Structure 1
Amino acid sequence: MKKAVYVTSPLLPPLEEFTPYLEQIWQNKQLTNAGPFHQQLERALADYLGVEHLSLFSNGTLALLTALQALRVTGEVITTPYSFVATSHTLLWNDLTPVFVDIDPVTCNLDAEKIEQAITPRTTAIMPVHCYGVPCNVERIQQIADIYGLKVIYDAAHAFGVKQHGRTVLEHGDLSILSFHATKVFNTIEGGAIICRDAKMKKRIDYLKNFGFADETTVVAAGINGKMNEVQAAFGLLQLKHIDSALEKRAALDARYRELLMDVPGVTLMPFPEETEWNHAYFPVRIGDEYPLSRDELYALLKQNNIMSRRYFYPLISSFPMYRGLASATQSLLPVANQIANEILCLPIYPDLEHDEQEEIANIIKAVTVSSATSVLDEAV
């Protein structure tokens, strides 16, 4: 590649379209504290996503931290080792103990059938992740939560716009958390949101994200500063005008990858989730033993060709120093997660990815198998 191709690239609207928003901010002279753009974006996102109550945050990690506070979660929380570190870090910051459970080999999500055996008297919540935007087994997870009286908080950082059976996946659980980081399908540069079920909970969340203030002189909780500013909110409003086009381009790129790579020995593509309107946030492949190179060797080869794929998620959260001492972090308890972490490779996918760039990526992956087969034939002769 003449230029580096990264695993993702932020969706940026035309600069000239953003200027009027900035001019309005300069005119309003309100940069934060639930200004007009903040209020507009909350309403617009709720309408677009098909949810009733949504609270904006300056980033997704603060949204996760606040969600745990809002539900007054204590003790142990069952979660996945296969995620970005923020998922478990928010538990430690709330003085909670993560309990890792293995993942499903197809969806890469928390294996719902292994949750019950991890429940103890100290368990108060489950925090699954809709990994790569693929919906979790929400019905089974909720059934378990109802039986044991547990809260369910979904880390839905990857799941913007995802629907299953015609309904948004964000309506499940007690709370769902979105990330609007620059790398996500929809971004506000940095940003996030909590989706909740009722106005009372939204009010509590809004208090918590603004230092606990209920009014000018009344503080009702030990809150934090998690507010989204006006520049981020304005950027988000503009992004919404372009998001449908971006999602269509992602779907086309996904379909093209599948066409190019479907018959490559040792390369396993993630099955398309059933009954789901997917956002194609990532394009993960698994590099198995049949492929001539290991996952790490292919990663290095792509990098040599200026293609920056990502081993996402590798290593497992459970392998980091602050977690590896937990009983649930034992490798033997997480065989599927460990295997997938050592095989997974996310290929570049974003709306501006050019067809020739995508084909070059696929050609490099396929060329390895061709050269390997040729070597075998040469040796046989």
Structure 2
Amino acid sequence: MNTRPNLAIFGAPRAFDTPLPVGQLYFPSWERYERAFRGIFERQYYNNNGPLHEQLECRLREFFGVKHVLLVSNATLGLMMVADALELTGKVLMPAFTFIASAQSVSRAGLAPLFCDINRNTHQIDVDQIVRRMDEEVSAIMGVNLWGGTCQPQILEKLANTLGVKLYFDSAHAFGCAIEEGKIGRFGQAEVFSFHATKILNASEGGCICTNDDDLALRLRSIRPSYRESTPLVPVVRVANARMSEAQAAVALMSLEDFPENRANNEKLYRLYECRLRDIPGIRLVEPAQVLVSNYQYLICEIDEVRFGLSRDQLLEVLKAENVIARRYFYPGLHRCIPYANDSRFCTEPLIHTDELCHSCLQLPIGARVSAQVVEKIGDILALTQANAKWIGQRIK
């Protein structure tokens, strides 16, 4: 090759003038934001189940089709609250291929996560692994719905009933997703959603817990104290200051109004990526698994180092030079994170698929900052990188 490829890693101008993040970042217009916040300051009611908080809980009950929705200040606290409210003991069986907070919520509740592997194609928890790894100390299964897909909650419900354990879900990736049996949010004893700014339903930060269990909802409300609660409180092991503010609720209400449009935009972008990447050797675009409706909140690819010519991490360097802030999700697997690494209490056998995907998965930008032109430009970068992989590999070394 006589000429260098036109890539920033070789000194060419960056493809993007400013960093392009992977998060959703769907925010309301300044006019809507200002109008909502003027109302908060005029009422001078900022927390403790204010009118916007109550309105949002009501709207979400209708959206999910569940009896109870409890807003929380973030999803990690929501997962901790559910573990306490379910009065779990011993171990919680869960996938190692998820965000670290999923396991930390279990540890902070005084329980031990027991990690299992995932299905290689769907990236969701492997049901066969659940059965094989179950022991008498496991009191619950935590299902994790990844990438705008699902871990087949209806199947996990039947399995949990057969095994005599409780079931709850980390559904941070699954807002607005649906399967044949209905919307995600109504399965197991409870489901927890994230409303972080990187998620498609955005409260800048926050989350919610969904449940159809009246007694569980009562315990959860007692764990999340509020001076305006109209329901009676019951004894609980501990409480958490997990209330959502009126400011968060205001942003979430606007985001809920915009959800259909934002979800449709994500799907359009996903299909554009699908067309653009399909002819590039060594890149597999991961389809949201086992859903009728996806929020397309994540754009996940697997990088085959042999066919693509570069490793996932080498490709990340190329993209970073172009101001494309792609991410490796998840890395490392939770069974290799402190304090769980090299401890047989948490992992009893190798997690082959988890280890493999932790070194090949790549998240590309999708959401408010992405357009058709951006997808095309990222596709061009990926195609040019693959075509010049040998030279680029030597340059990076």
* TM-score over 0.5 for the pair: yes
* Structure 2 equivalent of residue 246 of structure 1: 262
2:296 and 2:90 map into 1 onto residues whose CA distance is 35
1:229 and 1:94 map into 2 onto residues whose CA distance is 24
* Structure 2 equivalent of residue 230 of structure 1: 246
* Structure 2 equivalent of residue 107 of structure 1: 122
- Structure 2 counterpart SS, 1:42: helix
Identify which of 283, 286, 300 aligns with 1:267: 283
1:266 and 1:63 map into 2 onto residues whose CA distance is 38
Q: Which runs of 5+ in 1 are unaligned?
A: 376-381
Matched, 1:71 2:86: yes
Amino acid at match of 2:246: E
Which residues in structure 2 correspond to 1:130-169 (within 5 Å)?
130-165=145-180, 167-169=182-184
- Structure 1 counterpart SS, 2:169: strand
- Bigger drift between 205-214 and 351-360 goes to 205-214
Amino acid at match of 2:356: Q
Question: How large is the Cα RMSD of the aligned pairs?
Answer: 2.2
**Is the contact between residue 76 and residue 97 of structure 1 (CA under 8 Å) also seen in structure 2?**
yes
Q: Return the TM-score normalized by structure 2.
A: 0.89
Distance 1:275 1:183, change over 3 A: closer
For this pair of structures, how many residues does the alignment match?
375
**Is the contact between residue 212 and residue 219 of structure 1 (CA under 8 Å) also seen in structure 2?**
no
Distance 1:312 1:349, change over 3 A: same
Post-superposition offset of 1:110:
1.0
2:233 and 2:68 map into 1 onto residues whose CA distance is 24
Q: Which runs of 5+ in 2 are unaligned?
A: 1-15, 393-397
Identify which of 291, 308, 327 aligns with 1:310: 327
Amino acid at match of 1:264: I
Amino acid at match of 1:271: E
**Is the contact between residue 102 and residue 334 of structure 1 (CA under 8 Å) also seen in structure 2?**
yes
**Is the contact between residue 214 and residue 220 of structure 1 (CA under 8 Å) also seen in structure 2?**
no
- Bigger drift between 25-34 and 246-255 goes to 25-34
Which residues in structure 2 correspond to 1:315-330 (within 5 Å)?
315-327=332-344
Q: What is the percent sequence identity of the aligned residues?
A: 29
Listed one character per residue, the Cα deviations across residues 163-221 of structure 1 (whole Å, up to 9, x for unaligned) are 01161122111110001011111110110111001333222211111179977997732
Amino acid at match of 1:124: S
Amino acid at match of 2:338: P
Identify which of 22, 25, 34 aligns with 1:7: 22
Identify which of 2, 26, 30 aligns with 2:45: 30
Listed one character per residue, the Cα deviations across residues 315-373 of structure 1 (whole Å, up to 9, x for unaligned) are 11111120013316559610000001100001000133122222111111111232359
* Structure 1 equivalent of residue 363 of structure 2: 346
* Structure 2 equivalent of residue 369 of structure 1: 386
Post-superposition offset of 1:275:
4.8
1:270 and 1:137 map into 2 onto residues whose CA distance is 17
Listed one character per residue, the Cα deviations across residues 16-40 of structure 1 (whole Å, up to 9, x for unaligned) are 1122221221122111110110000
Which residues in structure 2 correspond to 1:52-201 (within 5 Å)?
52-165=67-180, 167-201=182-216
